[in-house]
Structures are given as C-alpha cells and as structure tokens.
Amino acid sequence: MSAEQVSGLCEQLVKAVTVIMDPASTQRYRLEALKFCEEFKEKCPICVPCGLKLAEKTQTAIVRHFGLQILEHVVKYRWNNMPRLEKVYLKNNVMGLISSGTQSILEEESHIKDVLSRIVVEMIKREWPQHWPDMLKELDTLSKQGETQTELVMFILLRLAEDVVTFQTLPTQRRRDIQQTLTQNMEKIFSFLLTALQQNVSKYRRMTDLAQEPKAQANCRVGIAALNTLAGYIDWVALSHITADNCKLLEMLCLLLNEPELQVGAAECLLIAVSRKGKLEDRKPLMVLFGDVAMHCILSAAQTADGEGLVEKHYVFLKRLCQVLCALGSQLCALLGSDCDVETPANFGKYLESFLAFTTHPSQFLRSSTQITWGALFRHEVLSHDPLLLAVVPKYLRASMTNLVKVGFPSKADSPSCEYSRFDFDSDEDFNAFFNSFRAQQGEVMRMACRLDPLTGFQMAGEWLKYQLTAPVDTGPMNSKTGEGLCSIFSPSFVQWDAMTFFSESVISQMFRTMDKDEIPVNDGIDLLQLVLNFETKDPLILSCVLTNVSALFPFVTYRPEYLPQVLSKLFASVTFEVVEESKFVVSVQAPRTRAVKNVRRHACSSIIKMCRDYPQLVLPNFEMLYNHVKQLLSNELLLTQMEKCALMEALVLISNQFKDYERQKAFLEELMAPVAGLWLSPEMQRVLSDPEAFISYVGADNKIADPVLEDPSGLNRSRISFCVYTILGVVKRARWPAATEEAKAGGFFLGYLPSGTPMYRNPCTEQVLKLFDNLLALIRTHNNLYMPEMVARLGDTFAKALDMLEVEKNAILGLPQPLLELYDSPVYKTVLERMQGFFCTLYDNCFHILGNAGPSMQQDFYTVEGLATQLLSSAFNNLNNIPDYRLRPMLRVFVKPLVLSCPSEYYETLVCPMLGPLFTYLHMRLSQKWQVINQRSMLCEDDAADDNPESQEMLEEQLVRLLTREVMDLATVCCVSKKGVEQNTTAALDGDDDEAMATEVTPPANAELTELGKCLMKQEDVCTAVLITAYTSLSWKDTLSCQRTTTQLCWPLLKQVLPGNLLPDAVSWFFTSVLKGLQVHGQHDGCMAALVHLAFQIYEALRPRYAELKAVMEQIPDIQLDSLEQFDSKLLNPTLQKVADKRRKDHFKRLISGCIGKPIGEQFRKEVHIRNLPSLFKKVKPSLETDVLENEDGEGFNVLFEP
C-alpha cells in the first residue's frame, strides 16, 4: 500500500474521529462517522500503518488514542491470521512508541499510557514466553531510558498480572504458561520493582530538597506506579518474595507511610501483604510489623494524617492504616497459640493503644472498622488472659459508651462525626442502616469484653444509669409531634438514654451468664432496680428505655422475689400509658396515638409476656394479683387495644401452664374465654361472620365518611371481632401441657402413644377452641369472598381501597427505606381508611396464624376433626382466584407450612394429601399464568418507561409474583425433601482454578432423600404431576433465587422418585428441555448455571441409556459439536469402558451444552477474542494441527517469533 493511500485514509479517519468527539455534531453525522471507523477497524487491510501514523506524537491526543485503539484491535482480533513479519513489524513499532513515541511522563495523557500498555499486554498474552523469550529483558532495557518508559513498563507489568491472575481473561493453558513463567522470574521482577521504587523515591526526595519541582514530580509518578504494580503482585506471589531480605519490602513500605504523596499506595501494599492467608509458618515473618520501627512509622503516620483535619486524601489514608492494624491483629490471633512458636510481641501494649485511638476517632466508620478485630482479641485463647489486654477492657467499654450514642447524621452538625459521615454516607437513611448494624456488632464485642471482666461493665452501666435518671431532659431544637416538651428520636436526651439502655442490657445479661451465682452483686442490682422503678416520666421514648432497663435488671428479682409486685405495677401502669393533652382534644374524641405511644404500650405488654415466659415459677405465687389486675383492665372496653388485651391474657395463660393440672387449667381457660365465647357464638355474630354483605356492613366498610380522621362509627364493631380472633390465637399459641412426661402424666394430660411411638397429650384449651372453630372457618370463607368483584363493588367510597396493601407493606416489598422521623412521630393510622386496611390485613393474618398453630397446639384432637380437609378446602382455599398474591403468601407461610410440618404421618392420607393435591395443582396454574404475563410484558415494553418509576404498579406486582414463587417452591421443598439434604451449602462458590470449573459445591448432596410425606404425595398421580411440573417449569421463570433453590434441593429428588416407573419419552424430553431452558434464562448467574448444568448432567446420565430421545434434544442445541456428542454418548452407553473421572465427564457435558447457556447482556454481542495455545512449555506433546501450521508458515520452522 502506498504512502498516499495511508495518508488519505488517515485524513478521513481524523475527520471522522473529530466528528464523533465534537459535542456540536448532529446525531446522524456522528453515527455515520462511527460506522466508518468501525468498518475501517474490521475490514481495512492497512490498519497497522494507519494506526501507527495516527499514533504519532504530532497528532492530537484524541487522534493518537484512536490510532492506538486500532492497533489494539488488530492484536486482539487479527493476530492469528497475520504473517510473521507483520507481527514483528507491529511489535517493534509499539516498543518504539514506548521508547520515543510518547510525551514526557508529566505531559502525556493517562488514557494514552493506558492503551499503549494494553497493546503490549495483548501481544504478551499471545506470544510470551515461547515465541518472545526476551520480553522481560526488553522491558528492562526500556526502563533504563528514563521515568516515562519506566512508568509504562510498570503499567504493562500490572496489566499483565491483572489479566492473567486477577481476572483470568485468557484460556487455561496460556494462563498457566504465563503465570508459571512469571513465577519463575518473580525474583527478577520483584528486584526490578523494588529497585525502581527505591531509586525514584530517593531521587524524589533529593529533587524536592533542590526545589526542582518537575523532576521531583516525575520521580514521584514512577514511585506511585511502582507501588500500584506491587499491589497487583503482593496478593498472589509466594510469601517468601514479600518477606525476602529481612522483610526489606515491608520496611520500605512502612517508611513510605510518612511520605504524603506515596503514603496511600504504600498503605495499600502493606494492607494486602498483612492480609495474606497461607501456611502459618510462612506468615511468621509478618510479625516484624510489631517491631519498633514499623510500629513507630504506623503510629506517627496516623497522628500526622489525623492532625491535619478532615481532608479526603488523609481520611482515605487513615482508613487504610486502620485496616492494616486490623489485619495485623488477625495475623497475631492466627499465629499466637499455634505451633509456630510465636510469642506475644513486646509492642502489644503500644498496638492496643493505637488501635484504641481508632476506636475513639470521631469517624463512625473508623470506629466500626475496629470491632471485628477487638472481638477476635477478646475471644483469643492466649491473648484473652494477657494482662495488657485485660487492662484495655475498661477503656474499650468506656469508648463503647460514647460509640453507642447515635450521632453523626450527615445532614446534621451536632457532633464532630457529622463531617466524616458526609464522606461516607449518601443520606441519613444510609447512615441509620449502617449505625444499626454497627451497634449490633458492638453489642457482640461488648459481651465478649464483659466475659473477661463482668463486674467493671456492670459498674459502668450502673453509673451511667444513675446519671441518666437524674439528668434534666433536653429535647433539643426539634419538638416531637407526640406532644410539647417531649423527645423526638433525635433529641439529645433520648439519644443518650437509648445508648445507655443498649449498654446496660448487653453487659448485665453477660454478667449473669459469666459469674457464679454467689458472686453476683445482688444488692447493687436491686438498688438500681429501685431507682428505675421509682423514676417517673411522661415521655414515651424515655419510658420505653426505662422498661428495657426494668427487663434487664429483672433477673435480680429472682434473688429478691419481694420486689415482683413493684415491677408488675410499673409494667401495668405503662400498658395504659397515654400522652393526654386535654386542651387540644375534646375528651370524647380520642387523639390518634402516635407510634411512640403505641410502642411503649406494646413494650410493656411484651415485657409482661417475657417475664411470664422466662420466670413462670417466680410469678406463679402472684397469679391472683395478676389475674385481678388484668380483669380490671379488660372490664373497660376502650382502655386497651385488642392486641394489648390479648397480650395480657397470653401472660395469664403462660402462668396457668404452671398449674400442671389439666382440670384446673381447663377451668381457668373456660373462665378466661367466657366473654369471647359469648360474643363469638352470639346469633348476630354468627350471621355477620358467615355472610360477606352483613360483614361489610358490620365493620362499616360500606359507609361514606365525611371526616376520615375523626369519624369512625363502626370502630367498636371491628374491635370486637379483632378481640375474639386475637384471644383465640393467644390461647392456642400459649396453652400447653408440662414438658416433662412424668408431670404430664400426673396432671392428667397424657393420653398414650401413637402407632409410630409418638406420645399423645391433650391441651387444656382444645374444648374451648374447637367450640369456636366453625365460626372461625366461616370468617375465613367470608373474608376470602370479600375479594369477589361483586363484593369489592359494595365497599363505600371512603373504603374502595380497604382491601389493598398498606403503604408500609408496599415499601417493604419494594425495598424502599422508611423516612426516619415518621416512624415514631406519626400516628399509627392516619385515616379511617388506613385503620380499615390495617384491620383486614391483621384479621386475615391472625386467622391463618390460628390454623397454623392449631396442629402443634391441639395435635390429634385437631387433626381428627371430622372432615377437616374438606372444611379447610371450602374455607381457607375458597375463591383463591380472586385473592391477591400479597394475601396468598402469608396463607402459605403461616398456615399451610406449619400445618404440614407438624402433622404426624398417621394423618397424611386423610388430611394432608387431600388438601395439598388441589392446592399444588392450582398454584402451578396460577404461577404459570402470572409468569406468562410478565414475560409477555417484558417483550412488549422493551421501550416502555414503566420501569423508570420504581413504585410503578407493575414493578410491585412482579416482585410479589417473585415472592409468591419462592413461597410455593419453599412449601414444596419442605413437604417433599428431607432436611439433611437441604441444610448443606446451597450457595455457589465458583472454583477459581479453572475456566471451565464447575461450581460443584452447588450440587445437592447424594442423600437429599424424599420425606415420608414426599413419598406419600408422589404416590398420588395428580399431586405428583403438579409438583414435578411446577418444579421444572419454575426453572425458566425469571427469579434467580427460586431457580437456584429449586434446582439444588427439589428437582432431582422428585424425578428420582418416579424413575423406576415407566415415564413417557415425551415427559423425559420435557424435563430435560426445561432444565436447558432454565440455563438459557439463568446461565449468566454462576450459581444457577452450575446447579442447572449439574442437574442436566444427572438427568442425561441416568436417562439417556433408556431414552434415545434425549440425544435428539441435545442435537437441537445451537452450535453443538455432533462428533463430540457421539464420543460422549458412546462412552456413556458402553458399560465396559472404564469411567472417566466425574469432573471430566461433567466438563465435557458442559462444553456440549454451552450453546444454550445464557450470557449476561454485556457479553451477548461482544466480539469473541481467540488466543491460540503455544507449544507446551513443560512436556512433549504431539504437534497439534494448529502449531504445525504455525511452525511451517512461510516455509520454515521457527521457535522464536520476536528475536532480541
């Protein structure tokens, strides 16, 4: 090609590139220019001379970059077909560009340096070491020319390590060749890197002293490049290179920590080195970092960086240093106490002091970074006895008292932490989520610290509690909406109370676990309890903290039971807590309670329940007092919400279980439930519960209401229904027989044994509950029928959306965070519509909770209810077609699953199979339709903007279908597959050793067997078909999680069960095709892909000998190599042949079906890069076809492509 042609083409290309990059170009021109450039790269035979011409120094940076891109494209996509001389010409010119074709180090654009280094690496990946043995020498020679070349050589070495070791972007054999050659030369490479680093750092210091700024900057650049390159190697080279020469590298890195321009890179390298895993013996030299020099460097660097205020660069450096100290601590914990003969370092005390400095730093992020290491130190078998560590425990606890205080919101300025949070968090919600997990982590570590020194923690908690009880309340600038002068969650007082409460709860519970009974400081504990009980506050947030402290100190009452009545009256007073503001509201109208008030009342109820659950023997003597108290509260219908009433009744039932006398408990429950039975069984209630129209009218959902905040005429009716349902649920959940068989026999609970040997007990609540059971089923049936279109039409204007989801539920499903303040300050329900929605939602859930608890509670008395299966089918499973997904999900989870799990095998045939058969058939039909709609929608609206609005209805519906699918598949798995198979690791852990590596960890263990129930279900043809079809169809539904769980846990055990029978060839082909379809949809996700490939392999191996149809399915896979398939088949069908190893057979199979494995969208249209293998370095192989051709090209054999 003539020079004119090259020049002419280059001029056109320059114009095209200018059009592409010019912001003023029209779209049409830009597209045409782009097309011209792309076609040139693909088709033009003179790419190399054009690329080199465009890359000349005289061109603009944009044009040069494009020229170099052309050369990169040539190496990546045309190399295999280039004549030898052209390769040599290109390689020499590229090396020439590095030598003299770029601007100086400070002037050259970084994207030019980047693309130039990429071209060299692409050539190395294709030719080194076999055909380019002197590559490293050439790079070394280049680097001697000056800083510009040295920096480029660093870029090449780093890029090479990343491609070969980190990202592994080349075929296995080439990767091994290059990695092994790198490893053989690692001493030279490390020596080169260290020398370059040392020389440039000393030149940099010298030039800085001489005030020669440009030269100093050039040396600094090379230093930074050397550190970055080292970071790419330190992670994987043999530890001996890192610790060679008396740990010279580590020493240099430590000294560089005090060099402002290089410190971040040095800390990065140090962190990678100290975080290395491997043989303990090899890691021993890392302990040198506990030496005087290293410790001094680390600490002085930290002090300097911190002393210069909050500058992003210094803050990033501090974070790295903190990570280095954490990693050092982890290495110490690993080495000390092992067989490596490592002693506690002399500077351990200094290390702890500096580590504590990070724990007390204003940055919440730095504080949290230290927690895991503190935990490891406090847990360590040797260090936990070290006097130095024990001396730090009180300091750590003191620091935690500060760290538990929730301050540092990025939007605020009320603490030094806020500034730092603005660097680390995008929003207050973000910070809040972080802080909550940080606090939980601190709780863990504080408990470990208290194991070492329980009394100190308790004393600190006592001091802090006393201080808070006497400190004046500071509500801060923001007033709570709950009432004037009350705290909001951001008030200084509440933030302190909240932190103190968490602290005391953590340390007191640990003290009771750690110390002997006789050593517990009972008097101090009781004194604190007295102070807390005598403390009065009208602030709901603070009162909530006070109640937690009462619960935390309650174990002291086991030593002094005389304090129990005082505790009870404190809790009962809080159950009826109100913030009454007479002036604002007329007393007759109850102000809507805020979340904070509701929380206090709930908190008090749950504290009472917890006390009765955990200390029933202690409370038993006070039963009468408790019972009278509750009766008094229940007598006023408006005083408590239904949930609160029920909570108190539950507490009574828990204590009554301690009677351990069937007749006495039964009589008590009868008395307790008399009001409920009277109401529930009344003729009016029976009419309301069994007729949807009467029900809508009774609860007031057909009204039109003028003032939706204050007016609610049917509120009382709703609360009556709620009260009955809550009470039934509470009793079913809590009433029990004694745990000890002897006590159960003595108390009259024991009935004998089932044929399977399981003991049978009778529950004292059975008679009462079964009496109310018919009406409960009627209510469930009615509730389901409310979703019929004609019933929905009867809802009044105000309540048209009464059956919809609550906003809170929607946000939870869409994963939207709750605004922080609203949680506590807004009324629980703002309007009567929200109250109605809350009523329907809770009622529905609670009815199914009763059914789910009925089995475990009443056992055989429930399972033998006459026609139970039919009754459940006609109530709970009635009108399922109209029931929305968000109601069907909880039904499966809280009713069907527990019922099935707790049912003894004696009742499978009569109860479970008749119920699950129709249910699974229905669920399969429903889910198939839903997924069909979703798939059609995604095909239709590729260009639709519905997805731009995250709250769009479609997105919510789709997410609900996903959640429902998971629920259904989970139910099928629980019913059919025994736990031992399921508990094993089901997550994918892709093995990094091999491109084709199968994530075999995903494969289900061989012992994933069917349960008794599973076998029973699979005997029934309709159930068997429904479950199998659902399981295999679900593999191609767009829900990765469901696909992976179903593949690993359910599909094979189900199919294995039906293998002995005569499966139709069409059915077998369908199962196999379903798995391949799943691979098409989910192949892009490593975990799913590995599980599905394994399943397909299992099916093919097990069924191919009996069904030739499977081969026909295989033949339809795109790009399948038929000769390879024949080879696989012949080995599989010939039993006399020795079996190849499982992994190799599986790899072969995976290559066969690779045509139907889906790729991520980013890879679907990517042009394939083909890198040929070179003759093997390490063993003689038969010359392959490819190397033959290559070696005899141009009519002469050659071994070296690029001669020095």
pLDDT number for residue 586: 35
Q: What's the average model confidence in pLDDT over 1130-1137?
A: 82
State the pLDDT confidence band at 807, using cuts at 50, 70 and 90. confident
Q: Is the pLDDT of residue 175 over 90?
A: yes
| Predicted model pTM | 0.86
Q: What is the DSSP string of 40-102?
A: HHHH-TTHHHHHHHHTSTTS-HHHHHHHHHHHHHHHHHHGGGS-HHHHHHHHHHHHHHHHHSS
pLDDT number for residue 638: 77
Q: Is the pLDDT of residue 1138 over 80?
A: no
Give the Cα-Cα-Cα angle 327, 329, 332 (nearest 5 degrees): 110
pLDDT number for residue 592: 64
Encode pLDDT of 765-784 as tens digits. Answer: 999 999 999 999 999 999 99
Q: Classify residue 157 by its DSSP letter.
A: H
Q: Is the pLDDT of residue 893 over 50?
A: yes
CA-wise closest residue to 474 among 554, 548, 403, 541: 541
CA-wise closest residue to 525 among 561, 498, 552: 552
pLDDT number for residue 1: 57
Buried b / exposed e along 465-492 (16+ C-beta atoms within 10 A): beebbeeebebbeeebebbeebbbbbbb
Distance CA 353, CA 375 (A): 16
Q: What's the average model confidence in pLDDT over 539-567?
A: 95
Q: Is the pLDDT of residue 179 over 90?
A: yes
Q: What's the average model confidence in pLDDT over 34-45?
A: 93
Q: Is the pLDDT of residue 742 over 90?
A: yes
Q: What's the average model confidence in pLDDT over 993-998?
A: 34
User: SS3 for 1010?
Assistant: strand
Encode pLDDT of 926-979 as tens digits. Answer: 999 999 998 888 777 655 544 455 557 888 999 999 999 999 999 999 999 976
φ/ψ (deg, to 5) at 759: -70, 150
Encode pLDDT of 306-315 as tens digits. Answer: 887 888 999 9
Which two structure tokens, joined as six digits, stand for 310? 């909050």
Q: What's the average model confidence in pLDDT over 339-351?
A: 89
Contact predicate 1178/179, CB 8 Å? no
Distance CA 127, CA 555 (A): 74
Encode pLDDT of 1018-1066 as tens digits. Answer: 988 888 998 999 999 999 999 999 999 999 999 999 999 998 888 899 9
State the pLDDT confidence band at 1001, using cuts at 50, 70 and 90. very low
Q: Is the pLDDT of residue 336 over 50?
A: yes
Encode pLDDT of 79-122 as tens digits. Answer: 999 999 999 999 999 999 999 999 999 999 999 999 999 999 99
Q: Is the pLDDT of residue 536 over 60?
A: yes
Contact predicate 451/510, CB 8 Å? yes
Encode pLDDT of 235-287 as tens digits. Answer: 999 999 999 888 999 999 999 999 999 999 999 999 999 999 989 999 999 99
Q: What's the average model confidence in pLDDT over 400-423?
A: 94
Q: Is the pLDDT of residue 981 over 80?
A: no
276 contact partners, CB below 8 Å, separation of at least 6: 234, 235, 239, 242, 283, 286
Distance CA 1154, CA 1079 (A): 9
Q: What is the DSSP string of 785-834?
A: HTTSHHHHTTS-GGGTTTTSPPHHHHHHHHTPPPPTTHHHHSBS--SHHH
User: SS3 for 753?
Assistant: strand
Q: How far is CA 381 from CA 69, 384, 385, 386, 452, in A?
A: 58, 6, 7, 10, 11
| CA distance between the termini of the chain | 28
491 contact partners, CB below 8 Å, separation of at least 6: 474, 475, 476, 478, 480, 541
Mode of pairing for the β-strands spanning 759-761 and 750-753 = antiparallel
pLDDT number for residue 337: 83
145 contact partners, CB below 8 Å, separation of at least 6: 99
pLDDT number for residue 984: 38
CA-wise closest residue to 597 among 616, 612, 579, 573: 579
Q: Is the pLDDT of residue 439 over 90?
A: yes
